[in-house]
Chains A and B, each alone.
Chain A
Amino acid sequence: MKRVQYSSYFTQYFFIAPQLAIILIFLYLPIVQTFTDAFTIQDAFGFGRYFAGFDNFIFVLSDPNYVTALKFTLIFIVVITFFSCSIGLLLAVQANNVIHGKSAYKTLLIWPYAIAPAVVGVTANYFFSERLGILYNFFNGLWGFDWYDNIYDAYIYVFIAASWKQISANFIFFLAGLQNIQKSVIEASRIDCKSSFRRFWTITFPLLMPTTFFLIIINITYSFFDTLGIIDTTTIGAPSGETKTLVYKAYIDGFKGLDLGSAGAQSIIMMLIVLVITVFQFRFIEGKIHYN
């Protein structure tokens, strides 16, 4: 924290008031409502709500469809994080090595960052459409690919769409991380170790750890929340709900099914999951990224 500061209450409130006002109306009120929904049940005729304790939570957690969505979300997170991180890292390491054409490669690799997940989803849809989709026909030629009926084929479809979009974000951060490593450390390691492969895993990679941790968190939040637009424009949960993420399921149950209690309970369960992730993130950002 700063040693010297201002101590005027009025000015402090003035500067923070706009943000507090917006979050009060559009964040805190909805959150209170979410909790109300989660702990109440609407009666069958829609006249009133009564307190239901943890009934909504028990209902959600004992629903086999919810367990399916939970499992899928976990697999989804691990696969997306692994593939987009490793491809992003590979490309960043190579881009950091080249002398000629560095900025051209950079430009050609970062633009997908700016594409909306929903646009990626619609595009993937054309590649995976049954009649003339290029990737559909390619995989179909290999093993009779059919994501409309086969769970694992549907997995492959959404994994490819969701990972592709995230590669460039990982690339940007890994490249910045690599450029932050001091040249003298790398040069010193050149003298000690001839193999560039071993040098990477014993010197560079450990120095990249803060970036890697940070990116793992970023990728988890991406796979958790931002992929809603991808799921909604690709499989919509096909074959029969196996490719719904938790967020997508909560959205469908709430908006299409109008089951406020269940949607509220699902939101609170996810808040708890995000809480764990964020505590981890804060400890990491506050603790590790500050080293110089």
Chain B
Amino acid sequence: MSRYFRITITHSVLVWGVLLMIIPLWLIFASSTHSNSVIYNEGMQWKVGGELFENYDKVLNKRGGFTKEITASKIFLNSFIMAFGIATLSVIVSMMAAYSLVYFKTKFSSFFFWAIFITLLVPLELRILPSYQIVSDLNLTNSYAGLILPLSASAIATFFFRQYFRSIPDELLEAAKLDGANSWKFFVDFLLPLSKTMIAAMFIFMFVYGYNQYLWPLIMTTSEKYWTVVMGLKMLGVGGSADRYSYIILSLLTPVLIIIFLQRLFIQGLFQSK
């Protein structure tokens, strides 16, 4: 009896938790399938309506913005490019840096270590104005490079790779050295295949990080051609038209699907470095 009681409690707590997460999403989705007049007069809807294709088609293909040059599909493409660029670049850069920190001992090693990890103290939000200044001096505003480069030296990713490399037994390098592997060969033939899960996890982590950037694209992109998801959000404003709900659903779709389908890799990678 008490065992069944406990199981019931467990499941009902979890179901409440799931509802807490799902209900807002459901309301947004259901509302995104109604006509503007329904949303305007009655607010959010619980039931799915009949305007699904019309609304999503309108959001994806209607030209908007100040000069009517941008569509939401282009916005999502821009965000994807930004996220993909940040993820790819920061995985490569951090992995190389972590390799250099863990597997090389020279007199500058600890200087490099501190030079990189001190940057954890200064997230982008704390240096946003001067960063903007520098990027605009370099003529990188309104470009993918300007969106991607400043965010692709992640001390956190370097930290995770460093922890992971440190957990690899010393014998691996000893054996590699016996086989005559130099530092290049060791990196490419030994570490790279061994770090697959970690690479995947950091890629996912940085992709979500890049896709969800707010402040940087907001101040960086004055030209509509380079708008990302956040600018679209800024243009939405408060109010009650159905395609706004469609836009929200579309803007969370990419990172959410990535986390759902790649959760195993993501979680394995994050926690294997403990």
- Residue interface bits B109-145, CB-to-A below 8 A is 1, else 0: 1001001110111110111111101110010000000
Contact B92 A129 (CB under 8 A): no
Chain B residues engaging chain A, CB cutoff 8 angstroms: 6-7, 10-11, 13-14, 17-18, 20-22, 24, 27-28, 42-44, 92-94, 96-97, 99-106, 108-109, 112, 115-117, 119-123, 125-131, 133-135, 138, 149-150, 152-153, 158, 166, 170, 173-174, 177, 183-184, 186-187, 208, 211-215, 219, 229-230, 233, 236, 238-240, 244-245, 248, 251-252, 255-256, 258-260, 263, 267, 270-271, 274
Partner of A254, one of B102, B128, B134: B128
Contact B267 A271 (CB under 8 A): no
A218 CB, min distance to chain B CBs, angstroms: 11
What are 18 A-B interface contacts by the 8 Å CB criterion? A4-B174, A16-B101, A19-B153, A22-B152, A98-B10, A113-B208, A114-B255, A116-B251, A118-B230, A123-B248, A126-B44, A132-B43, A167-B21, A172-B267, A229-B215, A229-B230, A232-B214, A267-B126
Identity of the chain A residue whose Cβ is nearest the Cβ of B245 in the assembled complex: A126
Partner of A228, one of B109, B214, B258: B214
In the bound complex, residues from chain A placing their C-beta under 8 Å from that of B20 are 87, 164, 167
In the bound complex, residues from chain A placing their C-beta under 8 Å from that of B94 are 19
Contact A34 B96 (CB under 8 A): no
Most B Cβ at <10 Å: residue of A31, A101, A125: A31
Contact B260 A107 (CB under 8 A): yes
In the bound complex, residues from chain A placing their C-beta under 8 Å from that of B127 are 27, 30-31, 33-34, 267
B76 CB, min distance to chain A CBs, angstroms: 13
Contact B153 A119 (CB under 8 A): no
Given known pairs A106-B263, A254-B128, the reply for A112 and B255 (CB within 8 Å) is: no
CA of A98 to CA of B7 in the docked complex: distance in angstroms?
A: 7
Interface of A is mostly: helix
Identity of the chain B residue whose Cβ is nearest the Cβ of A221 in the assembled complex: B123
Contact A33 B133 (CB under 8 A): yes
In the bound complex, residues from chain A placing their C-beta under 8 Å from that of B122 are 27, 31, 271, 274
CA of A6 to CA of B229 in the docked complex: distance in angstroms?
A: 45
Given known pairs A115-B256, A251-B128, A275-B121, the reply for A6 and B17 (CB within 8 Å) is: no
CA of A113 to CA of B11 in the docked complex: distance in angstroms?
A: 22
Contact A107 B100 (CB under 8 A): no
Contact B252 A289 (CB under 8 A): no
- Residue interface bits A153-174, CB-to-B below 8 A is 1, else 0: 0000000000010011000100
Identity of the chain B residue whose Cβ is nearest the Cβ of A118 in the assembled complex: B214
CA of A108 to CA of B184 in the docked complex: distance in angstroms?
A: 43
In the bound complex, residues from chain B placing their C-beta under 8 Å from that of A233 are 233
Partner of B17, one of A18, A33, A91: A91
Shortest 10 CB-CB contacts between residues of A and residues of B: A132-B43, A116-B212, A33-B130, A30-B130, A22-B153, A229-B214, A15-B100, A114-B255, A12-B104, A16-B100
Q: A116-B212, A134-B27 are in contact. List 15 more A-B contacts (CB 8 A).
A: A2-B105, A4-B177, A22-B153, A26-B149, A31-B122, A87-B17, A94-B14, A106-B263, A107-B260, A116-B229, A119-B251, A122-B248, A132-B44, A251-B215, A263-B129
- Residue interface bits A1-34, CB-to-B below 8 A is 1, else 0: 1111111110111011011101101110111011
Contact A176 B271 (CB under 8 A): yes
In the bound complex, residues from chain A placing their C-beta under 8 Å from that of B149 are 22, 26
In the bound complex, residues from chain B placing their C-beta under 8 Å from that of A284 are none
Given known pairs A27-B119, A31-B122, A167-B21, the reply for A110 and B274 (CB within 8 Å) is: no
Contact A7 B104 (CB under 8 A): yes
A187 CB, min distance to chain B CBs, angstroms: 16
In the bound complex, residues from chain A placing their C-beta under 8 Å from that of B116 are 19-20, 23
In the bound complex, residues from chain B placing their C-beta under 8 Å from that of A275 are 121
In the bound complex, residues from chain A placing their C-beta under 8 Å from that of B11 are 94, 98, 101
Partner of A6, one of B103, B174, B214, B260: B103
Given known pairs A19-B153, A22-B153, A109-B21, the reply for A5 and B104 (CB within 8 Å) is: yes
Partner of A176, one of B6, B240, B270: B270
In the bound complex, residues from chain A placing their C-beta under 8 Å from that of B258 are 114
Identity of the chain B residue whose Cβ is nearest the Cβ of A269 in the assembled complex: B126
CA of A105 to CA of B16 in the docked complex: distance in angstroms?
A: 11
Contact B215 A4 (CB under 8 A): no
